[in-house]
Amino acid sequence: MSSGVGRPRFGANYVPSAGWFYSWLDYDRDAVRRDFADLAGLGLDHLRVFPVWPWIQPNRAIIRERAIADLLDTVDAAAEHGLTVAVDLIQGHLSSFDFLPSWMLTWHKSSLFEDTTVRDGLTAYVDTVARALATKPNVFAITLGNEVNNLWPDSPTTPAVSAAWAQDLLTTLKKAAPDVLALHSMFDDAWYQAEHPFHPVEAVDLGDLSTVHSWVFNGVSQLDGPLGPATLTHADYLIELAKATSLDPERPVWLQEIGVPGPDIPVDLQAEFTRRTVEAVLPNPALYGVTWWSSHDIDRRLLDFPDREYDLGLFTVDHQRKPAAQALAELITEVKAHGVPEQPYAATLTAPVNLRTEPDRRPEVAPGSEFHLRWVAARAEGPVRILLP
């Protein structure tokens, strides 16, 4: 690789090796440090960490100091291993499970997005946790939550309500932690589904940078298999969509989640998928960083997860490097030594829909659409810029 565009960040979404996120209920500081030693050994520079909202705020009037102390110890453990930290607040949605506090369920059943009482409690939670995190110099970003749009339709909302909800909480977050990135992240239904009440403009207008989550089980792997061009370039496609939709041509895009889900990416192809997918996004001038999902596998003694969730880790539960981890480590070494190659745009395509103003036409840019397939074909000759009409 020759020296070129600025060096992106590399990190992992932290899934504890022992006990998954249930480990927050029985916090083990030594186990956390053992996990972080694995990740630092790959050459990563950051982690994305997921406290679980209802376990910190089990009652609207209670925010547990012990739970916040455990979160801050996790941040300190990362610093001990030379890692910076991004924290997601509203979990919310994790590995196919939803975690919501009992004070908004059962006979209190209400919408996370529409109910003002829930909003009051959530605002207090965001403010308290963000103020605590702001005391730690290695915290660089706080995201409202992990794919909060997956909490719809169980929590009804509308586009206007979902945007105002996110903006209000981002304002609270920024006031509590003014020196960190304040972010809003969504699953890619916001980019591709016609009736989805979270819109692309929220991803690119709200918060300090844009985030995208690239999962090939959304249809691209069905187009051309685990190493086909649509599969290998989906992350770059999402980055280009985000860049095109933003009013700010310099706004960075963080590839906040990407992984090797089975059966879409078989084990024997995971190293090649990792290398080629990351190589495809590295030259993109908008790229802020690449954060792998996830750090560690889920122990198969834990029940009821979708099968693909168990094996997404860079490491096994007993700390063995997996093929994707080795490929990622080698790429990081190359980038640190030689930088990122410059690859000028080979072509420019104009999308058939303005995602800012015509969100009901989002399927026209979804995987398998005529436009997406034209972009994939053009991408074979080099990077392809997307413009909105």
Report yes or no on 367 lying in a domain. no
Report yes or no on 164 lying in a domain. yes
pLDDT attached to residue 3: 33
pLDDT attached to residue 145: 97
Question: Which residues form the domain of 285?
Answer: 9-346
Alpha-carbon gap, residue 185 to 5, rounded angstroms: 25
Report yes or no on 202 lying in a domain. yes
C-alpha separations of 225 from 123, 189, 340, 352 in Å: 44, 21, 27, 26
Digit-coded pLDDT (tens) for 322-376: 999 999 999 999 999 999 988 999 999 999 999 999 999 999 999 999 999 999 9
Q: What is the pLDDT averaged over residues 170-193?
A: 98
pLDDT attached to residue 283: 96
- The percent of residues in the chain predicted with pLDDT above 70, rounded, is 98
Strand partners, 120: none
Residue 93: pLDDT band with limits 50, 70, 90: very high
Q: What is the pLDDT averaged over residues 130-135?
A: 98
Report yes or no on 213 lying in a domain. yes
3-class state of residue 109 by DSSP: coil
Report yes or no on 388 lying in a domain. no
Residue 1: pLDDT band with limits 50, 70, 90: very low
Residue 4: pLDDT band with limits 50, 70, 90: very low
Q: Reply yes or no on whether the pLDDT at 226 is more than 80.
A: yes
CATH assignment of the domain containing 112: 3.20.20.80
Alpha-carbon gap, residue 83 to 69, rounded angstroms: 18
pLDDT attached to residue 2: 33
- The percent of residues in the chain predicted with pLDDT above 90, rounded, is 98
Amino acid at 324: A
Q: What is the pLDDT averaged over residues 46-55?
A: 98
Total number of domains constituting the chain:
1
pLDDT attached to residue 297: 98
Report yes or no on 48 lying in a domain. yes
Nearest to 39 by CA among 72, 80, 4, 7: 80
Report yes or no on 68 lying in a domain. yes
Residue 7: pLDDT band with limits 50, 70, 90: confident
The mean predicted confidence, pLDDT, of the chain is: 96
Q: What is the pLDDT averaged over residues 133-145?
A: 98
Report yes or no on 372 lying in a domain. no
Residues 6+ apart with CB under 8 A from 193: 362, 363, 366
